[in-house]
Amino acid sequence: MSRPSILVARAVFPETLDRLGQYFDVEANPDDTVWSKSQLIEKLQGKAGAFTAGSDRIDTDVLAACPQLKIVANMAVGFNNFDLDAMTAAGVLGTNAPDVLTETTADFGFALLMATARRVTESEHFLRAGKWTKWSYDMFAGAEVHGSTLGILGMGRIGQGIARRGAHGFGMNVIYHNRSQLSPDLEAACKARYVSKEELLKTADHLVLVLPYSASSHHAIGGAELALMKPTACLVNIARGGIVDDAALAVALRERRIAAAGLDVFEGEPTVYPDLLTVPNVVLTPHIASATVPTRRAMADLAADNLIGYLTQGKALTPLNPQVMAG
């Protein structure tokens, strides 16, 4: 029997390719080119499976043009690059990579919060530019983190990880808003209190965004929401670009309507809204919240396991539309 063919749409660990090569004929992307839709469609011809990252969009055009496709395994927990309804209708399984990145991503959320509140990158730029000639009492004085109020919008696994770090490590008063309230047990473990979105915006000293992107979370933080925040507040986004209205945020930062922001994700990334590159009170990182070598290996392994499991035994570990597996 001939082996299924798969496409690995972005560069990945050589060990991952070797492992997939034990089961499949693999077409890889060693140059790590980000393919256009038509290139992706061309590469997917005859492929039963695809290993993707967030940059590879699987939509109705791709599905219609690739009738042999059975599974797309995303090396990411977020899957807003999938039109999941269209995949289900086409009988294509989608899988993501949850859990393996939860703690690493929560660590980074905290790193960005600390860097933002304590003005780490702004002060480093000052030092590197040779501007540090004397000490002064208010030089880069930032916001307090310990004992302050930590607001979390989106209280899934990563949000809970950030809450635990804040409550147990930094003695923070944790409040959150989510589509649904957590169980009393989970709230107790995170020492977190459920509040309305308005109370969250008005009360948080630091607001961390960890909600998934969808049409309903598009610009969940825009001009109106930023106006409700404290002028001393810091905003951290490790969720997805598009959840924050970057143009409105740049204005709020420039006019000091909020104190600072830490951003790992951007609307239209890797392009960054130009004003965000020039305002001083923002910490910018290139979508690296899950980027440790062990975690990226675990994400790649999980995506590979999903492809191997589904194409060899009809079973996947982390299906997004399991009805396809049953059908």
Which residues are tagged catalytic? Answer: 240, 269, 287
- Toward ligand 8YV, which CB reaches closer, 76 or 304? 76
Residues that bind ligand 8YV (CB under 6 A): 53-54, 75-78, 101, 290
31 sits in the region (left: phi over 0; alpha: psi -120 to 50; else beta) called alpha
- The continuous run of DSSP H or E covering 296 comes out as helix 293-313
Dist CA 286 CA 148 (whole Å) = 27
CB 222 within 8 Å of CB 249: no
User: How many Cβ atoms sit within 10 Å of the Cβ of residue 214?
Assistant: 12
Shortest Cβ 127–ligand 8YV spacing (Å): 30
Smallest gap, in angstroms, from Cβ of residue 178 to ligand 8YV? 18
Nearest-approach distance from CB 53 to ligand 8YV, in angstroms: 4
- Is there a cis peptide before residue 280, judged by omega within 30 degrees of 0? no
Nearer to ligand 8YV, 178 or 318 (CB): 318
Which residue's CB comes closest to ligand 8YV?
Answer: 78
Least distance CB 320 / ligand 8YV (angstroms): 12
The residue (of 78 and 223) whose beta carbon lies closer to ligand 8YV is 78
Helix (H, G, I), strand (E, B) or coil at 90: coil
Cα(291)–Cα(95) distance, integer angstroms: 20
Q: Nearest distance from residue 313's CB to ligand 8YV, in Å?
A: 25
In DSSP terms, 72 is beta-bridged to 50, 94
> Is the sign of the CA dihedral 121, 268, 93, 305 positive or negative?
negative
DSSP-derived pairing of the beta strands 206-209 and 149-153 = parallel
User: What is the phi/psi pair of residue 177, to 5°?
Assistant: -130, 140
| Closest to ligand 8YV by CB, 101 or 260 | 101
Residue 53 or 145 having the CB closest to ligand 8YV = 53
The sign of the torsion formed by the CA atoms of 201, 204, 207, 210 equals negative
